[in-house]
Chain A
């Protein structure tokens, strides 16, 4: 909200510069966003917090200044020069049918006004504050609202049926055309200002077109009322209509000021548009409440703030803000007493203050937050990271070392894309109120966001990509949201770029498998099996489990239940406009971390052998379908303790190898902890291996 510096000075004689005022207000909780010059003088723009309805006026901010600068605040005393003998009650009546929505309604009537343009000084003020000038009567109401914070509404009295006001709920199916020329549908929890026949205004929000002040208006009914903030906020939201008035009512207007503001407005109208004011006021005030008493003690102030504030400052601040503090402890004469207590009377404009802590805040912000010294306090307990945080760090470190860049994706995604990777039977976590269709569902796997990241980069000429994300996937199970931590990998393009030292090499499934097995080393090895969801290439893909244990209890094939890794099918890649081969993997993350911790707990040192290792190569011809794992298993089944590793050395098909068969070179390394192996031992091992493979796998030994 904007305020004019000179207007503030009419209420409090500040001699400080506008810059100083800006900074003092900002440091007392009235944030001043900008300070600009205007024809009406310096304009301060206050970004008010929602609790400070009382500061939505010049007078309210002037009150803050009076407390800050310890200067007196001038009181408002309107002077009515021409008051008619006829009482206002002789021409109009007010009835409140819904006191829960409208707590006070005052009406005054002015006769014989001459509606016309406003004088320049007023136009200038309104303009500087961003208010268009309408005519002298309407401008007077706006001027008083800006001055005192009380929204006022002027009706053309002669357009009101029976010249009377009924404050009531909207009737079923009722409509009103507001001043902005929009026809609005009303509902029964909206508070309407009506005459004897129809609604003429949405109470506290906006007037209707038919009763507005025109250049033909001569008799004016001036409304100054108080509406219940919560219901008003609902009305304003439902109508999609926020006005200067509704914003003020929402944040809480002082119900006590309604009559004073009405008189101040009449003073101004008489001054600007002439005419005469009918005697007295119609004032229906069902919400009148006794002022609230709140006690503040030094003990509590010290307990919360940790540092003292002198008596005179406490009293000066609370007095200036209107709380009328009065010492209420046993020894009110004792200055600085630890037992000091003050009984305060809450002014009607500060409905946000109701507890001792609220008063402490008032004192603290006016005393100055900077006056409270900064201290540190010792911890009483040891700090703990999240249970799996160390495991997460190790996995992340390894991925970074493997060349994967971590990404962070917005988890709201396109539902059609998300559905591609969603497990059968899992319900998506959809939004009721998305801002865009392509961000209307929470991702049910990390694949969809991973592919988006790959898409973004390839579209921008970045083709060689290795990315990972540690995040969550979201689904609904039995109507309840389920969040699962996941690790997602994505890769495309070259595994190695061409350089002066090395040739280029495309990323392949074997790269993905190798990288994942590097993670596997940390978590106790992955088992790779076939059987993957349809979005993965049936040959270049696999399901991963840990040490034979599936990564989750769930039986479905979704990536959240099992690890999956492989090449994306062309059909899916096309949907993301990815023209190169794309490799992805996804694993449930928490089981991975847990497995890492379990694996680490089992690590024990193994002595380094003192005797040399010996390699033996077996060049085998095997039938297609016989796997390396089978070969390895058969060799291990011989239970030769000297075997320390079995690795594939070379693999090829074609050439001299008949169709339906392939050649596999298997390298076995032997080593003993007790002695150097003899030629005789090695010959025996080799013979046993060959014989076993020949018998069980029909392997043939290939002679070079």
Chain B
């Protein structure tokens, strides 16, 4: 914008404006010129030079008026010029600020059009890993039981028959051994102890009670092995979380309360629990725990064989015979134990129909559980 209004560079005297009327007329013209110029401001650059032209500290019109008109004005005009200048300044500043906002908005709008991004395009991807579903499920179990005061224990996967069977009240002749087909370890000739791959995490019950006086509250996550041909529900190896609580004031009612709490925490508050009498050599009374079917809310469907219930795991009150193996006083102590099938819980919770999927480690499977 050209420096406007050359006459503001001269004094009132030089432009022969001697009357208040004349001064007011000069200011009215200035205002009209300003308004006209302001309407042509259409960009950030134009706005900047417009601003500098009018209110720039060194060369702006208003500074010029102040320097050239006001300061040297004769006393009789000084008041008129001062008032008119203040009025004009207020108007100019308000309009320039308003124009700034308008110009910024229209600049943003222009940028939005010019720099338009297809929002359906992906961002820069970072590949993240995942925890395995078994780990996630075990962590869930651990969190629930830690909140109930259960510590975590661990033990060897390669066990002796004593810990896997005898000390759990399963003598060699017991028919229950048939239902737990067992892998045995090939040892060098002359080996004194036989070793097997534990068929359940229950041996750690015995290790725990051997090394800790009562009361005891533990869970034992770990791998277990069965000599079953692999199919959609069987695998050489799978995972259990064993639980054991022994104290002087635990009864069947506390057992039920604990298991019901766990099932609700894991599957949600709507899921109901049912206890069916069963038989395990190391618990008595023994119970199969059923959960109301999470697929049909207990109404009956193909997955629960139209019973409304799904068998979850075995459990029960610790058989007094087990206390005999660990020098616990069976007359004073009472407790319960349970063996959660981690794989089974995960399969039910996420609708996985084939156990093998958990161990094939296909990344297309792993990625589904971020």
Contacts and interface: CB of A to CB of B under 8 A. Distances in A.
Nearest to A478: B188
A404 B149 contact: no
A410 B223 CA distance: 9
B252 A372 contact: yes
A409 B256 CA distance: 34
Nearest to B191: A479
B98 interface: no
B126 interface: yes
Nearest to A382: B149
A51 B170 CA distance: 12
A409 B364 CA distance: 16
A369 B287 contact: yes
Interface centre among B256, B278, B320, by most chain A C-beta atoms within 10 angstroms, is: B256
A384 B151 contact: yes
Contacts of B257: 374-377
Contact of A380 (B158, B197, B215): B215
A230 interface: yes
B130 A29 contact: no
A638 interface: no
A458 to B, nearest CB: 10
Nearest to B154: A386
B285 A361 contact: yes
Interface string B224-237: 01011100000111
Nearest to B173: A230
Interface residues of A, number: 92
A306 B254 contact: yes
A410 B234 CA distance: 12
B185 A431 contact: yes
Interface in A426-443: 427, 429-435, 439, 442
Contact of B247 (A27, A360, A380): A380
Interface string B342-370: 00000000000000001111111011000
A435 B236 contact: yes
Contacts of B186: 430-432
A132 interface: no
B265 interface: no
Interface stretch (A157-165, A460-468, A572-580, A669-677): A460-468
Contacts of B124: 499, 501-502
A185 interface: no
A385 B154 CA distance: 10
A405 B370 CA distance: 10
Interface stretch (B52-60, B108-116, B176-184): B176-184
Interface stretch (A331-339, A395-403, A604-612): A395-403
Contact of A250 (B156, B175, B252, B360): B175
A50 B184 CA distance: 23
Contact of B254 (A361, A375, A403): A375
A50 B177 CA distance: 10
B86 interface: no
B130 A360 contact: no
B73 interface: no
Contacts of B129: 399-406, 466, 468
Contact of A304 (B153, B287, B334): B334
Interface in B212-227: 215, 217, 223, 225, 227
Contact of B279 (A51, A376, A442, A479): A51
A433 B215 CA distance: 39
A553 interface: no
A389 B152 CA distance: 9
A355 B184 contact: no
B152 A304 contact: no
Contacts of A307: 251-253
Contact of A457 (B174, B179, B361): B361
Interface string B24-66: 0000000000000000000000000000000000000000000
Interface centre among B134, B145, B359, by most chain A C-beta atoms within 10 angstroms, is: B359
A500 B274 contact: no
A431 B184 contact: yes
Interface in B241-285: 247, 249-254, 256-258, 260-261, 274-279, 284-285
Given A304-B251, A435-B236, A483-B157, A374 B260 contact: yes
Contacts of B146: 383, 385
B317 interface: yes
Contacts of B122: 499-500
Interface string B278-313: 110000111110000000000000000000000000
Nearest to B118: A500
Contacts of B131: 396, 400, 406
Contacts of A456: 360-362
Contacts of B251: 302-307
Interface residues of B, number: 89
Nearest to B319: A357
Contacts of B184: 431-433
Interface in A647-698: none
Contacts of B284: 357-358, 361
B185 to A, nearest CB: 6
A369 B158 contact: no
B303 to A, nearest CB: 15
Given A429-B158, A433-B183, A501-B124, A383 B217 contact: yes
B166 interface: no
A244 to B, nearest CB: 16
A355 to B, nearest CB: 7
Interface string A409-422: 11110000000000
B90 interface: no
A370 interface: yes
B150 interface: yes
A433 B227 contact: yes
A386 B361 contact: no
A641 B297 CA distance: 69
B195 interface: yes
B211 interface: no
Contact of B157 (A379, A431, A472): A472
A376 B152 contact: no
B67 interface: no
A381 B217 contact: yes
Nearest to B259: A374
B159 to A, nearest CB: 9
Interface of A: 26-29, 31, 49-52, 229-230, 233-234, 237, 250-251, 302-307, 355, 357-358, 360-361, 364-365, 369-370, 372-386, 389, 396, 399-412, 427, 429-435, 439, 442, 453, 456-457, 460, 462, 465-468, 472, 474, 476, 479, 481, 483, 497, 499-502
5 contacts: A376-B254, A403-B129, A429-B185, A430-B186, A474-B158
Interface of B: 121-132, 134-135, 142, 145-146, 148-154, 156-158, 173-176, 178-179, 183-188, 190-191, 195, 197, 215, 217, 223, 225, 227-229, 235-237, 247, 249-254, 256-258, 260-261, 274-279, 284-288, 317, 319-320, 334, 358-364, 366-367
Given A379-B217, A457-B361, A468-B129, 13 more contacts: A29-B276, A29-B277, A50-B176, A303-B334, A376-B261, A383-B145, A412-B225, A412-B237, A456-B360, A462-B362, A466-B129, A474-B157, A479-B191
Instruction: Please name the 6 residue pairs, one residue from A and one from B, whose CB atoms are nearest each other, closest first.
Output: A379-B149, A306-B251, A29-B277, A49-B279, A306-B253, A365-B277
